[in-house]
Copies of this chain bind each other. A is one copy, B any other.
């Protein structure tokens, strides 16, 4: 099969659709979303039976339990996906918003208004729910999307994308607005990475290898998502109870996600007070600790090496380091952090302000769990990913982060002198 020709045909259709999508009315977009949610619900059994094929293939291939769990769709999860689409329908339409407006010295009236990005390419792995989530956000923000999911979920993705596409076009969205790539050969990804002619932005969603591959090889602009080597720093003046609750939450609430913490930094003057109780609480949640020398002088645990400070475990493992002061903590975070989410637990006003000011990360917390770095928790209504870059969007990305803008200039014959 000629993959280039296949992608060119899909790409041109998506691009042509994006031109119309930019001006589809809010009413039509919302109707399409509600119809998609309805169609998902009505086809629950078909989705489950196609998903069963993926689960069977995955089991035969020996995929890990964690991946099989991500793959699995049941009635409850399908209802949750449909309900997420309903929610997107209820969000404000970002397109057409006047972001700012001003008048120039020569009486030109300029409005900066929000417009879609165009064609958004999403490259993802084993989560079939991305097919629906990403589609819903792209529709609402007036973008076309080209979705390329992983081979593990291909049967689920094909049936879901067919249901979506049918409901979308029947609701009046242009053909091609939701474009699913039903070939899982990696060559397709290589083509997408350099498909500047038809894709305006690429959002990779998945593991570190996928993201690195996209960032290193794409000529299409990329929004990098995902990697989070996050820290909690327990300052000298911390409320110990809050500190323990926050650390346990940030480590164990969902250890496999990017906003979970991987290392804690503890002020030397509070270490003895907190480490015993903390160890008990964490070990009760099956967390394995790896400590620096000072830590190991206070509690029993494995030794942390240089590699541990740099590792995103995504697992029930936590590195522990005793630091001499806030400067020491800031240095450690600067050296090993990935600019995702960082927290200080402190009662000191001055140190809270310093931490907020000096830590360079998408989300910087005082006395709260890093697990809140999330579009839903921030109140964005939905999320297409968490950006770990500084260009365009940083942190949780909702509808607004899927938009660009243009300047409208109202003149009266002005020419430049």
Chain A interfacial positions (CB closer than 8 Å to B): 19, 22-23, 102, 104-105, 108, 110, 115, 117-118, 196, 200-201, 215-217, 219, 221-223, 239, 241-242, 245-246, 248-250, 253, 334, 356-358, 360-369, 371-373, 377-379, 389-392, 394-395, 404-416
Contact = CB atoms under 8 A, between A and B. Distances in A.
B412 A362 contact: no
Q: Which 7 A-B pairs have the closest CB atoms?
A: A368-B411, A249-B415, A390-B404, A371-B416, A392-B392, A242-B413, A367-B411
Contacts of A413: 239, 241-242, 245-246, 367-368
A369 B364 CA distance: 45
A117 B360 CA distance: 10
B390 A200 contact: yes
Contacts of A411: 365-369
Counted per complex, copies of this chain come to: 2
Contacts of A405: 394
Contacts of A222: 221
Contacts of A248: 415
A104 B416 contact: no
A360 B119 CA distance: 13
Contacts of A389: 221
Chain A interface, DSSP helix/strand/loop, else mixed: mixed
20 contacts: A23-B358, A104-B377, A108-B368, A115-B360, A115-B390, A117-B390, A117-B391, A200-B390, A221-B391, A245-B415, A249-B415, A250-B415, A363-B406, A363-B407, A364-B409, A366-B409, A369-B414, A390-B404, A394-B406, A395-B407
Contact of A364 (B394, B408, B416): B408
A1 B22 CA distance: 52
A183 to B, nearest CB: 25
